[in-house]
């Protein structure tokens, strides 16, 4: 693009809009982005052409005297006037400078309808760079005429709306053109023509009413030096106000900024239409509480708490097997043989798996809704789809994770277990030795001495359960820590799996939205109100 056409802030806005469209193609439907794409295309096309020229269209309704005003500005009859004109379905152009052909080619105006005003040094100096285009009537009964008007209006740098005392309040003009183009007020002129037909102060009254209607349309009026549309009263027949209009147009053209202001207004309008797609109702993102809740739900689904309890029991059970009394272990073996455990049925296992799957699905839905809350529709949908894609293999992955991480049936053997086993063996040996010694005395194989064997048996009988009780007390803390460690490992594994499959894709979508939203703020530009930019 030529730097003489667009200034740096506008080029930055256009670059941001281009990046915004590129980043949004896979998330936003093409119809929503169509207007932004059209603005970019038109901006690129206009930026490659001359920045020394200003293209202004004369638009108006049937009978407004638009062509008469066109001729009055040109100083010679160029556009035919009257009810029937052979060129009424095509725009006619008048250029006050050379090198206007590329711009007129862009407007699609054929060579036979291009004019140059008669040589007038004063007019050429005043209007140098101006390309004035007389359009067909915007309210013409012929559809082709209206299509020509709409096509050229989308391409020109500025527009002069010509109204007359009878049709200045016409609903078609205000509803179809002025109100939708209210954001283009800086490149609009509203000219009340045929004021010679109004007696006395009627012209001022009509002008005041016209300004009121424009205010209702949202068209800003630049009457006190602020940016906005210019409202003037002229008479193409008598020449009243023509000089003022020509001077105003000359000043407008001399600033050489109409093309940029027009494109800037187009960008702002496109950004306004895109606001529902990029302006979130709240700060987008996943809170730490939502992440922790998601991890807790997955841990619940994988049975981390139950696994921790089972690991704690396994530690105690192994401690009891290693450190318990041999007689007690023998009795437990008999109980296990006599009353075997009833294993859970396959039906119960299937029910548990279904419940776990439902918990996983509910956790994914909850975190997806939390992440999508407040986002514009397309981005909220993208977040939900990312979560759903990750959730497809999540239950199976958690099951495999539980099998690989959750083998806690064989806890490590602490250093004090051998000492406890030795103590139990000693107590058992004392019981057996004391009993054999006592039996030997009874049958006469040993000399009578009841005190010592009874004492040995008593120590063994009391000491064995005592060692067993002591081991149980000593095992409580390590068993608890072992269970908590098992639960922690499963929780971390489940959280890591859920993060990789669900949270990371969701976060990637949120980051993508944050990026495009940043581009959207750039598109709005620094001059936009804060409320409109942040949203």
In angstroms, what CA-CA distances link 188 with 49, 130, 360?
21, 15, 60
CA angle 187, 133, 82 (to 5 degrees): 120
Which candidate, 129, 128, 130, 148, places its Cα nearest to that of 138?
148
Q: 130, 54 in Cβ contact below 8 A?
A: yes
How far is the C-alpha of 15 from the C-alpha of 403, rounded, in Å? 52
Task: Dig out the tokens for 9 from the structure.
Answer: 């802030």
Reduce the secondary structure of 113-174 to three states and give it as a string.
Answer: HEECCCCCHHHHHHCCCEEEEECCCCCCCCHHHHHHHHHHHCCCCEEEEEECCCCCCCHHHH
Q: 129, 253 in Cβ contact below 8 A?
A: yes
Stated pTM of the model: 0.74
One-character DSSP codes across 473-508: HHHHHHHHHHHHHHHHHHHHHHHHHHIIIIIHHHHH
* DSSP SS3 for 21: helix
Per-residue burial over 397-434, b = 16 or more CB atoms within 10 Å of its CB, e = otherwise: bbbebbeebbebeebeebeebeebeebbeebbebbeeb
Per-residue DSSP letter, 221: B
* DSSP SS3 for 531: helix
Per-residue DSSP letter, 175: I
Q: Would you write out the chain's pLDDT as a tens digit for each of its 535 residues?
A: 444 689 999 999 999 999 999 988 888 888 889 999 999 999 999 999 988 999 999 999 998 999 899 989 887 777 555 544 444 578 999 999 888 999 999 999 999 899 888 877 777 788 999 999 999 998 888 888 899 999 999 999 999 999 999 989 999 999 999 999 999 999 999 999 999 999 888 999 999 999 999 999 999 998 777 889 999 999 999 999 999 999 999 999 999 899 999 999 999 999 999 998 888 766 667 888 888 888 888 888 877 777 777 777 776 777 666 666 666 666 666 666 776 655 444 344 555 666 777 888 888 888 988 888 888 888 889 999 999 888 887 878 777 776 766 555 566 666 666 776 677 677 777 777 777 777 777 777 777 777 777 787 777 677 767 766 766 776 676 778 777 888 888 888 888 888 888 999 999 999 989 888 889 999 998 755 443 444 4
Amino acid 58: pLDDT: 96
Q: Which residues, at least 6 apart from 131, have a Cβ–Cβ distance to it below 8 Å?
A: 53, 54, 55, 56, 93, 94, 95, 96, 100, 103, 104
Reduce the secondary structure of 177-205 to three states and give it as a string.
Answer: HHCCCHHHHHHEEEEECCHHHCCCCHHHH
End-to-end Cα separation, the chain, in angstroms: 31
Amino acid 213: pLDDT: 95
Amino acid 332: pLDDT: 63
């Amino acid at each position: 693009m030529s730097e003489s056409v667009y200034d740096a802030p506008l080029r930055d806005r256009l670059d941001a809009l281009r990046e915004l469209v590129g980043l949004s193609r896979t998330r936003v439907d093409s119809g929503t982005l169509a207007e932004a794409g059209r603005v970019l295309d038109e901006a690129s096309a206009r930026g490659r052409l001359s920045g020394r020229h200003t293209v202004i269209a004369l638009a108006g309704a049937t009978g407004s005297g638009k062509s008469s005003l066109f001729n009055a500005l040109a100083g010679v009859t160029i556009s035919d006037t009257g009810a029937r004109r052979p060129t009424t379905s095509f725009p006619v152009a008048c250029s006050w400078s050379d090198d206007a052909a590329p711009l007129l080619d862009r407007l699609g105006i054929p060579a036979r309808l291009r004019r140059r005003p008669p040589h007038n040094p004063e007019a050429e100096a005043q209007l140098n760079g101006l390309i004035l285009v007389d359009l067909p009537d915007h309210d013409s009964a012929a559809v082709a005429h209206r299509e020509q008007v709409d096509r050229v209006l989308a391409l020109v740098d500025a527009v002069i709306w010509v109204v007359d005392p009878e049709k200045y309040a016409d609903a078609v003009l205000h509803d179809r053109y002025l109100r939708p183009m209210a954001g283009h007020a800086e490149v609009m002129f509203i000219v009340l023509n045929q004021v010679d037909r109004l007696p006395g102060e009627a012209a001022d009254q009509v002008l005041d009413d016209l300004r009121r209607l424009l205010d209702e349309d949202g068209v800003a009026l630049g009457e006190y030096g602020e940016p906005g549309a210019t409202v003037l009263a002229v008479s193409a027949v008598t020449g009243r106000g023509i000089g003022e209009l020509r001077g105003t147009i000359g000043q407008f053209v001399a600033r050489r900024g109409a093309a940029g202001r027009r494109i800037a207004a187009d960008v702002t309008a496109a950004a306004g239409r895109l606001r529902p797609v990029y302006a979130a109702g709240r700060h987008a993102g996943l809170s730490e509480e939502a992440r922790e809740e998601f991890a807790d739900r997955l841990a619940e689904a994988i049975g981390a708490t139950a696994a921790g309890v089972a690991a704690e029991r396994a530690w105690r059970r192994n401690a009891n097997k290693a450190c318990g009394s041999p007689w007690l272990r023998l009795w437990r073996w008999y109980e296990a043989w006599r009353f075997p455990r009833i294993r859970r049925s396959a039906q119960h296992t299937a029910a548990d798996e279904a419940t776990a799957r439902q918990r996983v699905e509910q956790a994914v839905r909850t975190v997806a809704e939390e992440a999508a809350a407040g986002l514009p529709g397309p981005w909220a949908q993208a977040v939900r789809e990312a979560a759903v894609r990750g959730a497809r293999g999540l239950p199976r992955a958690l099951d495999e994770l539980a099998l690989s991480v959750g083998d806690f049936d064989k806890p490590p053997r602490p250093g004090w277990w051998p000492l406890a086993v030795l103590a139990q063996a000693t107590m058992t040996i004392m019981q057996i030795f004391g009993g054999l010694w006592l039996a030997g005395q009874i049958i006469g194989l040993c000399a009578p001495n009841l005190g010592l064997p009874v004492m040995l048996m008593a120590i063994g009988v009391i000491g064995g359960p005592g060692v067993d009780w002591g081991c149980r007390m000593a095992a409580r803390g390590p068993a608890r820590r072992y269970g908590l460690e098992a639960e922690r490992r499963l929780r971390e594994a489940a959280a890591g799996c859920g993060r990789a499959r669900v949270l990371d894709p969701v976060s990637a979508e949120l980051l993508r939205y944050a990026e495009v939203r940043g581009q959207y703020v750039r598109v709005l530009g620094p001059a936009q109100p804060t409320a409109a930019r942040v949203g």
